[in-house]
Structure 1
Amino acid sequence: MSKYTLKIKLLSDTTFGRGDGVAGLVDQEVEHDRYGFPYLRGRTLKGLLSEECDNLIAVLPEDSQRQHWQEIANRLFGVPGSSLDTQAKIHVGDACLPDDLRASIAAQLDSEQDKKRRNPKYKPALTSTDILESLTTIRRQTAIDPEDGAPMEHSLRSARIILRELPFESKLLFEPELNKDSEDDKDMLALLAVGTLALRRIGSGRNRGRGHVQCSLHDSSNEITKDMNYIDHFGRIK
């Protein structure tokens, strides 16, 4: 099994929306785990990468190039209704904050909850709500009437956003293991590299100024997206 890491740095405030809100608090809540750490689902990230790769393939100048690289994309990401022979070769994990940070804080939260269970009157010094609120904030906006420039009635909405500059990481697994001497596997890694570089917007509101990100792809020792051999390889056909 080949393992790679997709690193995401938030360049602007971002919302990893989960499709609902919290009554009386926010209309749009971010996806977060039981410790309060926000994250982006791997399934969503995989869809975003696949979309960027499709966009890059669509602008290739030759039909033969587009056909070749679309076949590579299908092998990499799979196609609807895939069988065992045509399923995606890549598994995309959830994009989370760095493991060491989450492990350290999770241990402290578990300790506080254990004290609370042993003594119901104990007030925890740290809660999951504290973690969520330290990494996010709530933004409010309203629609404006184009005729008089006044806020429209009943249009006030609130959304939780993840603060910029936070780093997220997603584990990418290839099964079976990639063979870098195989032309097809080289093609898949090249396509994944350019798709990673092309991914600039993620999350809810990505077409309205939120979710500007910088992404990079890494193996165990190198940054793939800085290796021009992979970048130059994209677009070629045999």
Structure 2
Amino acid sequence: MKNKLQLKIKLLSDTTFGRGDGLAGLVDQEVEHDRCGFPYLRGRTLKGLLSEECDNLIILLQGDIQKHWVDVRNKLFGVPGSILAAMSIMHIDDACLPNKLRQVVSIQMQKEKEEVNKLTPTDILNSLTTIRRQTAINSESGSSDKGSLRSARVVMRDRPNTAPRFTAHLFFDEEPTADMKALLGVGVLALRHLGSGRNRGRGHVQCSLCDDDGNNINQDFLSRFGTIEVDK
């Protein structure tokens, strides 16, 4: 479909898709996960991060060129508190693991529902994540500060030379223009950190914009950004 794109995310480091709370006695910060235990990143969060990256790039432009790309951005992401006519034409689904994998596991869990050694959401979550712990160090004594130990669950990074595991589907109310795709493309490439702790070494990612068939289109529209071109 012309009104659909994909955003693929490869985890280059362990990542916490934080949900803002933890589990008492286990972790201080839990990852967002579904009822089967599969971690995911909320589409609303992803859209906000993309919008921020695009804003950071547009602000570097000047004059009429900047105004043009602000208009493109507002059409794509919408304007906060705006009227219906100025709302975003783009909607982003949650970034999830492959649908086939989730379906197969869900079916298996249903089959084993009454068994003693059944597959549980905790099993799934533990197979895809691990728990990292860190503490604050006192600069004077060189020892850890009392009560500073914190734990966070992280989604384990992707292995080298493998395809991205997480995909978010992008839907549009109307066919996106070449300029919209160009802005999305540069924003996607600029998005290199996700989740909680991204300023402390976690959440390093590599993102790519793809068509609805999964073909990478990052380079197809990049040359348009920062210019004003008339669509033929």
TM-score (norm. length: structure 2): 0.92
Which residue of structure 1 aligns with residue 157 of structure 2? 164
Matched, 1:69 2:69: yes
Q: Which amino acid aligns with 2:108?
A: Q
Query: Matched residues in 1 for 2:124 and 2:18: separation?
Result: 17
Q: Which amino acid aligns with 2:33?
A: H
User: 4+ residue stretches of structure 1 with deviation over 3 A?
Assistant: none
Which residue of structure 1 aligns with residue 196 of structure 2? 204
Q: Give ranges in structure 2 of 5+ residues lacking alignment.
A: 159-163
Which residue of structure 1 aligns with residue 219 of structure 2? 226
Which residue of structure 2 aligns with residue 130 of structure 1? 123
Query: Matched residues in 2 for 1:110 and 1:149: separation?
Result: 52
Which residue of structure 2 aligns with residue 182 of structure 1? none
Which residue of structure 2 aligns with residue 177 of structure 1? 175
Q: Which amino acid aligns with 1:170?
A: A
Which residue of structure 2 aligns with residue 111 of structure 1? 111
Q: Which amino acid aligns with 2:18?
A: G
Query: Matched residues in 1 for 2:41 and 2:212: separation?
Result: 22
Which residue of structure 2 aligns with residue 99 of structure 1? 99
Which residue of structure 2 aligns with residue 151 of structure 1? 144
Which residue of structure 2 aligns with residue 49 of structure 1? 50
Query: Matched residues in 2 for 1:142 and 1:188: separation?
Result: 44
DSSP-derived class of the 1:22 partner? coil
Query: Matched residues in 2 for 1:204 and 1:90: separation?
Result: 25
Q: CA deviation at 1:79?
A: 1.0
Query: Matched residues in 2 for 1:4 and 1:175: separation?
Result: 12
Q: How many residues align?
A: 222
Q: Give ranges in structure 1 of 5+ residues lacking alignment.
A: 117-121, 179-184
Q: CA deviation at 1:110?
A: 1.8
- Say which is worse superposed, 30-39 or 166-175, in terms of deviation: 166-175
Q: Which amino acid aligns with 1:168?
A: F
Q: CA deviation at 1:67?
A: 1.6
